[in-house]
Structure 1
């Protein structure tokens, strides 16, 4: 039995779809979600839906009962991630899960991104408790940058603080397929995968591709981190999200979102989706 946490979220739902595509019987998949009502579509496919809240350990024990493998999709609550992840790991240990897969951050042991702290702390805790595990160090989702296309087109500029840093992002679906491959492959305990897209780009190159596809001149405007954060706040983003995005862009300027190992495409057995194709789909 395979349990996918955060299964009603964007990544978790894609992982379940990928497991089903790999012919894992729906009855052997558990969608662990905070609100089971949000996973009614998965239940309709025959997937088991169980309530699981990272902040309530008792729900985790029940959700993981009978599980061979658990995919811990990292919490979205920055600043609260480590204690929540600890609850998940402790529950998996208590119920005798044979393998826990964790979605970490690209090069979490050396990343310049502020996001790395909670991810690396989680990795270290996994080692400390001795739970058999595999680490999926996911790079940036291309969707993170595609989400800024509408305001860029509206205002005639794409803004950021990534400088000339190269970003080897990939689609969520590619990372989801990688998780499904790992969860259905033998002998994964102890492995660490550095996962990133096959191609890389600077945000200036991103803006150039956006200009090409829209037929409009949309230059990239590089800002200092504080200035970029201020612009994001002005656009209505909450302070923690604005701070996270600005810090991550600055981390990208230092190489934090680049990897050219092609581990992701090797794992999934096909090239990762190209920026041009993903952008074209987003614009539609």
Structure 2
């Protein structure tokens, strides 16, 4: 019996596996899944079993889930296609007799009005309807969404449509560590965790970047449609730009500000915005 982790070639899935190993889970009890097994060679060298799995290929999923005690189900990245893909995962997990499904969802998935949340809400319902024991890890935003834009912030400032709203962003590594804690702690079935770090506004983000870089950085707040236009003009694909702007609308309404469940799972304070910016710089 094993812990099977999907999306192991992605950032979060790989970090979850690293966290499991750091917690002392034997490598031979972990199965890393990905569409391209060659990209998992370094994990195989550490003793982790690797298998091919593609959310669009139900047969590959049935084979990949064989013997799984726990399935760490990292949500897919193809917006607009995830309900069908995730349905394949849930069906294969049920057929394989998986004992527990741990799914990475989005903050407040059951009540969120974010366009991005609809597929997560639908997936949560698929999992509930399947009868499989489950845990939902409702992750807020990644701090990397912001620290990855530091060069642009320093040159152009911070722009958005979040108003005075605050976002409980946390690092991928912290979300991964929390997932590993759930995967290695008994009696988790049925739990729903709202996960995120200490909340901050976009104005506070700009002020912290300014403080650490010594350059004047301010926040420009725009209507959702104007922010979408700005992103498109900067080269962001229109559909993705609309999704990002809609997420800012949700931030303005408090939809990505969550409780301190993350701190509880980590047993410490999550990585703070200032610390993440310092590391990125």
Moved over 4 A (4+): none
Normalising by structure 2, we get a TM-score of 0.98
Q: Are residue 217 (structure 1) and residue 230 (structure 2) matched?
A: no
Q: Residue 133 of structure 2 aligns with which residue?
A: 132
Distance 1:145 1:152 in 2: 9
- Note the C-alpha offset of 1:240: 2.4
Moved more, 225-234 or 72-81: 225-234
Deviations 1:55-103 (A, max 9, x none): 0000001111111010110111011111111100110000100000000
Deviations 1:87-139 (A, max 9, x none): 00110000100000000011111112111111011111111111111111111
Q: Residue 277 of structure 1 aligns with which residue?
A: 275
Deviations 1:216-269 (A, max 9, x none): 00100011111111111122222222121111011100101101x311111111
Q: Are residue 207 (structure 1) and residue 210 (structure 2) matched?
A: no
Distance 1:152 1:241 in 2: 19
Distance 1:186 1:281 in 2: 34
Distance 2:236 2:115 in 1: 18
Matches within 5 A, 1:170-249: 170-197=170-197, 199-249=198-248
Matches within 5 A, 1:102-141: 102-141=103-142
Distance 1:273 1:245 in 2: 23
- Note the C-alpha offset of 1:203: 0.2
| 3-state SS of paired residue (2:137) | strand
Q: Residue 86 of structure 1 aligns with which residue?
A: 87
Q: Residue 264 of structure 2 aligns with which residue?
A: 266
Q: Residue 97 of structure 1 aligns with which residue?
A: 98
Q: Which residues of structure 2 form unaligned runs of 5+? A: none
| 3-state SS of paired residue (1:68) | strand
Q: Residue 59 of structure 1 aligns with which residue?
A: 60
Distance 2:278 2:249 in 1: 26
Q: Residue 149 of structure 1 aligns with which residue?
A: 150
| 3-state SS of paired residue (2:101) | strand
| 3-state SS of paired residue (2:40) | helix
Distance 1:33 1:214 in 2: 39
- Note the C-alpha offset of 1:29: 0.6
Distance 2:27 2:236 in 1: 38
Q: Residue 10 of structure 1 aligns with which residue?
A: 11
The answer as to whether partners of 1:3 and 1:71 remain within 8 angstroms in 2 is yes
Q: Which residues of structure 1 form unaligned runs of 5+? A: none
The answer as to whether partners of 1:112 and 1:254 remain within 8 angstroms in 2 is no
Distance 2:233 2:35 in 1: 32
Deviations 1:25-71 (A, max 9, x none): 11111111011111111111111111000000000011111110101
Distance 2:11 2:231 in 1: 23
Distance 1:79 1:147 in 2: 24
Distance 1:149 1:243 in 2: 21
Distance 1:162 1:49 in 2: 41
